[in-house]
A and B are shown apart, each in its own frame.
Chain A
């Protein structure tokens, strides 16, 4: 073609500027990355390293503990005592049960709402989105406060309403307290996850949907067999963040802890860590529990991404 244009500079002339260019790029990369790297070291690597170090030692308080305790190397003993502590393990049991209820519930309902909004059947789409999304802008602790009030007998209009229909309902009972916590999380997370799905659905190529419609697929079939498989990536992302979120569970049960004896001070692994560090002053134990929780989180995230990756390759 007639691509004459400006003659490219000869290599001899181009070499020095290109080299300085590359050096300049390396300098720019370093400058842009320095603040983040400093944070990475200061608030991630160093604390984790220090926690590992601390988890291998134990304070040995002799006598009345005056003059400070002696620090003794105890190896993996803290890890063993954490792993053998029934209250730590039951915390994980609580989380597992919470996940079994919460993850399918939030994924399915957010996906259903996202698909409905995407289907074009719904009126006032923007308003609906905004209303469902709104709780996400409510801080977790405040969401917990609101719902705790709605769960408290004597305060709750919900309980009063049920009472008028002769139904006694106890939101803070032995079997209801976990679903009550799930409800708070669902209330907060529903709209946010719905928006993620909706955004992904909106980004789908319209031709694909048209093709399915022309092929005679109905609305529901198109949704389930065409749309959902394409946005599988978003579904996996939501699952993963819900799982990680579940492992962090602290704020809501901590508040429940004030209101009902059904939630004890070691209800979740995070509460166990808080309890060990600040009520029992056992930093070795708390550090070991933190490291175990960290490992579980990483393994779980890795497993989810690997699993979804394999699914994707097979598909």
Chain B
């Protein structure tokens, strides 16, 4: 403790290392830049053109959809299509939209609260059979929801829950991948020292969770929420199995039935197109709004 080692290290780091000699990509840097940009541009065109088609096609009436050039605007009927969309079949589309929002937004909110709580408990607390229970969670991650849909239907029909709101809403709350992710994120975002400090201050465990940890888990929560929102908005098999009442349908199933109807009555075609366009909007809005948090959540998840 009292040795007289010089406190000034001799081999102190001498600032950032000098720039490497030569350019990293040699003489061909210009060409590689060109190729790289071209590849990314092609990828962007590949992903954007069908979306652009959807946008243009939604401005066309049924005749023009089949007849005219996709780029011509002579028959601009976006407004007509829009009003047709919401008046067709007694305004079913509006109902589907509300249903989808209920299933997806409320479901993802409640579901990610449940998953984050469980993931946090797995990370921070010791209890009996913890790793066995977590093994069950991992099995749940591997099991595709579509495999569970039929068994769920059979149970639901036994207890008389088939063709109700709850038959779709309750199963989508179950998100084992969210629990797995939340455990990972909790160990990354919530330092154990914070819990210790909170305990010393005399705060209860649950109080600490709600007031301190949940706040630190913000980006993790957003990540789990977005994953689940997308999954529920995409959900197709489960509602198809569970629901027979059109008024309970989410957008995915509703648009599917209209698309089937279109083979017989072509007036549905423009409605499926513009209906699909509107159905995409909430997810894009959610992603653009929450992108920043979501990204940091993803990074934390992938480092491990």
Question: Interface on A for B, CB 8 Å cutoff?
Answer: 1, 21, 24-33, 35-37, 39-40, 42-44, 46-48, 50-51, 54, 109, 112-113, 116-117, 119, 121-123, 128, 131-142, 145-147, 149-150, 154-155, 157, 187, 190-191, 195-196, 199-200, 202-203, 210, 213-214, 218-219, 222, 231, 233-234, 244-245, 247-248, 250-251, 254-255, 258, 270, 273-274, 277-278, 283, 286-287, 290, 293-294, 297-298, 301-302
Q: Are B147 and A250 touching (Cβ within 8 A)?
A: no
Size bracket of the B interface: 35 or more
Q: Which residue of B lies closest to A289 (CB)?
A: B150
Query: Per a CB cutoff under 8 Å, which of B26, B39, B66, B143 touches A44?
Result: B143
In the bound assembly, the distance between CA atoms of A186 and B24 in angstroms comes to: 32
Question: Interface on B for A, CB 8 Å cutoff?
Answer: 1, 17, 20, 24-26, 32-33, 36-37, 39-41, 43-44, 46-48, 50-51, 53-54, 57, 65-66, 69-70, 114-115, 117-118, 120-122, 125-127, 133, 136-137, 139-140, 142-148, 150-155, 158, 170-171, 173-174, 176, 179, 199, 204-206, 209, 230, 233-234, 236-237, 240-241, 251-252, 255-256, 259-260, 263, 272-273, 276, 279-280, 283-284, 286-287, 295, 298-299, 302-304
Q: Are B70 and A214 touching (Cβ within 8 A)?
A: no
Query: Per a CB cutoff under 8 Å, which of B47, B66, B117, B120 touches A131?
Result: B47
Q: Which residue of A lies closest to B121 (CB)?
A: A32
Q: Which residue of B lies closest to A286 (CB)?
A: B150
A-B contact pairs, 25 of them (CB 8 A): A29-B121, A32-B121, A33-B133, A116-B39, A123-B37, A132-B43, A136-B230, A138-B51, A141-B255, A142-B280, A145-B255, A145-B273, A146-B53, A187-B50, A190-B46, A200-B302, A203-B299, A218-B25, A233-B304, A234-B302, A245-B144, A248-B147, A258-B263, A274-B241, A297-B142
Q: Which residues of B contact A138 (CB under 8 A)?
A: 51, 280, 283
Q: Which residues of A contact B118 (CB under 8 A)?
A: 32-33, 35-37
Q: Are A199 and B302 touching (Cβ within 8 A)?
A: yes
Count of A-B contacts with CB under 8 A? 263
Q: Are B205 and A24 touching (Cβ within 8 A)?
A: yes
In the bound assembly, the distance between CA atoms of A29 and B132 in angstroms comes to: 15
Q: Are B36 and A122 touching (Cβ within 8 A)?
A: yes
Q: Which residue of A lies closest to B65 (CB)?
A: A155
Q: Are B259 and A134 touching (Cβ within 8 A)?
A: no
Interface centre among A21, A28, A119, A274 (most CB of B within 10 A): A28
Min CB distance A182 to B, Å, is 13
Q: Which residues of B contact A278 (CB under 8 A)?
A: 241
